[in-house]
Structure 1
Amino acid sequence: MTAVPSADPALTPELRALAETATAWPFEEARKIVERLKRRPKDEVLFETGYGPSGLPHIGTFGEVARTTMVRHAFHILTEGKVKTRLLCFSDDMDGMRKIPENVPDRAALEPYLQMPLTVVPNPFGGGYASFGDHNNAMLRRFLDTFGFDYEFASATDYYKSGKLDAVLRQAAVKYDAIMEVMLPTLGEERQATYSPFLPISPVSGRVLYVPLKAVDADAGTITFTDEDGVDKTLPVTGGAVKLQWKPDFGARWAALGVDFEMFGKDHQTNAPVYDKICEVLGVEPPEHYVYELFLDVNGQKISKSKGNGLTIDEWLTYASTESLALYMFQSPRSAKKLHFDVIPKAVDEYFHFLARYETQDWKSRLGNPVWHIHSGNPPKVDMPVSFTMLLNLASASNTVEEDVLWGFLRRHVPGVSAQTHPKLAELVVYAVRYFKAFVEPNKRFRAPDDVERGALEALYAALGTLPEDAGADEIQNALYDVARPIPRYQDLKAKGATPERPGISVEWFNTIYQVLLGEQRGPRFGSFVQIYGIPETRALIREKLD
């Protein structure tokens, strides 16, 4: 991904006119912000994303920044770059550690620090970071920097302690009763009896306390409560002596910073009206929202930072490019999607598919193409002669984890191809070898053919032997069809254009090939695969499995 440009070379009146009606979701959201500016003119628009550093950052966290950047660029186009924008990534690192994450070393060592602010909890990972919160913040920034995002990082601890939130905290003390009127109806009876929007940081233990308040002095800007030692204490609401409960904190931060746009996961959707009301109580119009669906793990469960049950940022980048991950974030953000290793190959191939289409599209279509949003209006030109799936199947058929072996097949397909002539293909070869070794090779499950399948594969072996070694993909594919067409099991009379004399070919024939020859459930277009892998090599593979 690229940062929002200061001067987009394609920013023309014609492009802006098309953007006014573009249907891609970033444009739909950007138009809401344009309308907002008509109601509330300002010189600078603030986009915000939130991060809870209670665990290591995962890809869902990145998704918020990537998607918000896409909306920010769409807004840049709609306003012809005339309105300054900022993206603030805000870390709620002053929150108390409510539970110890499952994926940290020496969990017992963190037990004494439960309920303390995350920037006070010792860092269990080492590496020179002062606290658990500092470590996780650094992990987030490192990854955002990898993608070249144009953003500013903000720490709640810094904002509370430096006084940047003092004005809104004093206002919250003044509006204490109004905030309670918003909050109490959302709570159960027992919780109502002890609830306070202000959470004091205990001078005795350093913990974030969930205790009822005995007094709120709006004029003095103080709260009084009973500390853990049983003694009543009075603290200022400013300077980091207290923090706000998370729901009031959401709305108060919007008010303090003047946030214009923020997106968040579906788990916040029911609370969004509360955030809005708090912001309004504090005298500021709440920002525009975008609610996205949550990511799921391989078992369909919500991914969690504390459980570590989803893909990490580094894991995706071990097996695929940053652009493929950005594409995954762009597509259908309001649909729940599985975030596991098996989604990577499809994401990689779809990215290059959209990139290839971009060159032939008119501007209206380009504004709906994901790569325009991923690259902030400047997609690169890339020649990708084979797919990631094809590379994985070449590795599978040859049972190799050697990059040179794959390059041998590729040079047969594209004479003279090399890492120097096709650098993006070179990256893909590296990723394919890693992915094959980690996920394909350990899970290959070959099965023996039954009598019908054995006869069909023998016929395919013979048919391939009649073709010249330099036969094209279509010629090979037609031979594949001709072998299957007379076999009742593989006939599909419901296929488009099928007739009893010339039936279509059912997917069962291709499943036979993939499962018996490659040990996989699916594969590439077989004609293209054989053209690259080689007819003699494919016949040898068939003979090996039949024997």
Structure 2
Amino acid sequence: MPNTQLPALDPALFDAAQTARAWPFEEARKIVKRLEKSGKQEAVFETGYGPSGLPHIGTFCEVARTTMVRTAFRLLTRDEIPTRLICFSDDMDGMRKIPDTVPDPKALEPYLQLPLTAVPNPFGSDHDSFADHNNAMLCRFLDAYGFDYEFASATDYYKSGKFDEALLHAVEKFDDIMKVMLPTLGPERQATYSPFLPISPSSGRVLYVPMKHVDAKAGTITFDDEDGTEITMSVTGGNCKMQWKPDFGMRWAALGVDFEMFGKDHQSNQPIYDRICKILGAPAPEHYVYELFLDQNGQKISKSKGNGISIDEWLAYAPTESLALFVYQKPRAAKKLYFDVIPRAVDEYYQFVSAYDRQSAAERLENPAFHIHSGNPHEGEHGSPNMPLTFSLLLNLVSAANAEDKAVLWGFISRYVPGATPQSHPELDRLAGYAIRYFADFVKPNKTFRAATDTERKAFEALSVALEPLEGSTDAEAIQNVVYEIGKSAGIEPLRDWFKALYQVLLGQDQGPRFGSFVALYGVAETRQLIAQALNGDFLS
């Protein structure tokens, strides 16, 4: 796929990029130095994908983060060096177990150990094989988020001859590859290990068998087939594939990969991948190792366990850009990926986009919005939206108003933002829908109201009286000052306990956005009514 042009950028950004500290620029500078040293006239970025399952949040993370580094590289080099992002599917791997997600698992049992592109398609779609279906889902997934990439199939690369040169080189270097691999294996595995996995001529299965002979000159391997028949075959033309660790290094060498990132679970194998790549005559690419996500209990997220949150689940409650922000921030820190991180990610995203136009060139390159939008935060349907309310504030409005549809919310919003309508503020309307959904599923089930203490009751009563002259006002700052003074006069120490009491007694939550902003949005009269209901015990079960 040809390069697309970078959006029109302020020339100052090119200069600022040379010293930008954001992690995509730090990684991109390594690639610039690499190409300066080698004289290579193209930068190749790669991400890998296992088509044994459908695309998931990890797939989004790798492609999004790699795209951020690619954009930084293009800015550093003024887009004068062509770049490619290859999304490589390991679809020639044998199906070692049947995923739980298929409609009829037993129907696939006869196809165990066959390459995934030779396993029938169980999903009822028009695609020829299990892998073809999942590969199509991958491309649709990536296309939906506007990624610029080239799809590559391992089956195609092995069968079409694109890997032939690298495979023949691997035959020549068979002993050197074995010297790298054998020390990493136990005695039993050492006795049967081969970096080449032949495809059985009789059954079509991927075989994990030792080599009886390797002929570097002829480019052939000799082994016993499943029925005991001795077979000699060429390593080219799709007759075999490589074990996954040697395959990493071979692929890097064959494709001329300059950059690939992977999770911490690959880190211990990185030296193996690198050494094999070098054995096959190519420098190992630059790497970026990222931390794995954790679930709400601090456990590593696992596809088989189904813990954590999927990309579809995130996007049911928040815009894609908020997920991209979460992905961008601190990739090398273990982060909890669960529903309670969504509101903060949403609000921070809009804060970063809002700040972009006010920033200098250097500041813009440190702003996550630059990296999320590939250099142009104003591009696309949701770029640079006018967002007069935070997601957290909307959540509290939903809570106080018991809203189940956006029309109720817009009654409050249009009073707070005169003239605002769903048509004039489509992004805010979209966010209102997310807030209703998120509140219903995650906030409402966990709401716990408590009664006010005697001291708090007096403070609530005083607050209601003090708010009366402000009825009709949307001056959040003036309201916040009144709330602050009432808590201070009541002698509630520390003062943050007063604000905590407001949310616990009135909304059944431990925290919320600035209370003055909430009152300005919800309404002074409505807040006074809320106070009366709470003091009357209406919210206590």
Separation in 1 of the partners of 2:236 and 2:352?
51
Are residues 102 and 464 of structure 1, via their aligned partners in 2, closer, same or farther at CA, if it must alter by over 3 Å?
Answer: farther
Are residues 9 and 471 of structure 1, via their aligned partners in 2, closer, same or farther at CA, if it must alter by over 3 Å?
Answer: closer
Separation in 2 of the partners of 1:395 and 1:519?
13
Retained in 1: the 8 A contact 2:397–2:409? yes
Separation in 2 of the partners of 1:446 and 1:184?
63
Task: Provide the residue aligned with 1:80 in structure 2.
Answer: 78
Separation in 1 of the partners of 2:474 and 2:308?
44
Residue 224 in structure 1 maps to residue 222 in structure 2: yes
Retained in 1: the 8 A contact 2:42–2:83? yes
Q: Deviations over 1:333-359 (max 9, x none)?
A: 111112222221111110000011111
Shift of 1:130: 2.5
Shift of 1:224: 1.7
Letter in 1 for 2:376: N
Retained in 1: the 8 A contact 2:474–2:521? no
Retained in 2: the 8 A contact 1:100–1:306? no
1:250 alignment partner, SS class? helix
Greater CA drift, 424-433 or 357-366: 424-433
1:262 alignment partner, SS class? strand
Letter in 2 for 1:387: T
Task: Provide the residue aligned with 1:497 in structure 2.
Answer: none
Matched residue count: 530
Separation in 1 of the partners of 2:464 and 2:288?
55
Structure 2: segments with no counterpart, 5+ residues: 379-383, 537-541
Task: Provide the residue aligned with 1:428 in structure 2.
Answer: 431
Are residues 522 and 135 of structure 1, via their aligned partners in 2, closer, same or farther at CA, if it must alter by over 3 Å?
Answer: farther
Are residues 536 and 310 of structure 1, via their aligned partners in 2, closer, same or farther at CA, if it must alter by over 3 Å?
Answer: same
1:211 alignment partner, SS class? coil
Separation in 2 of the partners of 1:75 and 1:64?
16
Residue 6 in structure 1 maps to residue 1 in structure 2: no
Q: Counterparts in 2 of 1:387-398, with a 5 A limit?
A: 387-398=390-401
Task: Provide the residue aligned with 1:399 in structure 2.
Answer: 402
Task: Provide the residue aligned with 1:495 in structure 2.
Answer: none
Shift of 1:116: 2.3
Residue 499 of structure 2, aligned match among 510, 530, 545: 510
Percent identity, aligned pairs only, is 65
Separation in 2 of the partners of 1:120 and 1:340?
36
Letter in 1 for 2:44: L
Retained in 2: the 8 A contact 1:56–1:305? no
Retained in 2: the 8 A contact 1:16–1:80? yes
Q: Counterparts in 2 of 1:168-187, with a 5 A limit?
A: 168-187=166-185
Are residues 286 and 491 of structure 1, via their aligned partners in 2, closer, same or farther at CA, if it must alter by over 3 Å?
Answer: same
Q: Deviations over 1:444-468 (max 9, x none)?
A: 2333334443333333333323433
Are residues 149 and 536 of structure 1, via their aligned partners in 2, closer, same or farther at CA, if it must alter by over 3 Å?
Answer: same
Q: Counterparts in 2 of 1:11-22, with a 5 A limit?
A: 12=11, 14-22=12-20
Task: Provide the residue aligned with 2:132 in structure 1.
Answer: 134
Task: Provide the residue aligned with 2:539 in structure 1.
Answer: none
Letter in 1 for 2:310: T
Shift of 1:239: 1.5
Retained in 1: the 8 A contact 2:471–2:525? no
Shift of 1:240: 1.5
Residue 530 in structure 1 maps to residue 519 in structure 2: yes
Separation in 1 of the partners of 2:3 and 2:217?
44
Residue 385 in structure 1 maps to residue 383 in structure 2: no
Root-mean-square deviation (Å): 1.8
2:465 alignment partner, SS class? helix
Task: Provide the residue aligned with 1:348 in structure 2.
Answer: 346
Separation in 1 of the partners of 2:122 and 2:451?
50
Shift of 1:186: 1.5
Task: Provide the residue aligned with 2:381 in structure 1.
Answer: none
Task: Provide the residue aligned with 2:481 in structure 1.
Answer: 478
Retained in 1: the 8 A contact 2:91–2:131? yes
Task: Provide the residue aligned with 2:49 in structure 1.
Answer: 51
Residue 491 in structure 1 maps to residue 489 in structure 2: no
Retained in 1: the 8 A contact 2:55–2:141? no
Q: Counterparts in 2 of 1:123-272, with a 5 A limit?
A: 123-272=121-270
Greater CA drift, 28-37 or 224-233: 224-233
Q: Deviations over 1:267-295 (max 9, x none)?
A: 11111111110001001111111111111
Structure 1: segments with no counterpart, 5+ residues: 493-504
Letter in 1 for 2:493: Q
Are residues 11 and 173 of structure 1, via their aligned partners in 2, closer, same or farther at CA, if it must alter by over 3 Å?
Answer: farther
Letter in 1 for 2:512: G
Separation in 2 of the partners of 1:4 and 1:203?
41
Shift of 1:316: 2.0
Task: Provide the residue aligned with 2:445 in structure 1.
Answer: 442
Task: Provide the residue aligned with 2:296 in structure 1.
Answer: 298
Greater CA drift, 167-176 or 220-229: 220-229
Are residues 362 and 122 of structure 1, via their aligned partners in 2, closer, same or farther at CA, if it must alter by over 3 Å?
Answer: same
Retained in 2: the 8 A contact 1:473–1:531? yes
Shift of 1:11: 5.5
Retained in 2: the 8 A contact 1:57–1:305? no
Residue 324 in structure 1 maps to residue 327 in structure 2: no
Letter in 1 for 2:129: S
User: Given the two structures, how large is their TM-score scaled by the length of structure 1?
Assistant: 0.93
Retained in 2: the 8 A contact 1:266–1:294? yes
Greater CA drift, 328-337 or 306-315: 306-315
1:88 alignment partner, SS class? strand
Separation in 1 of the partners of 2:6 and 2:487?
57
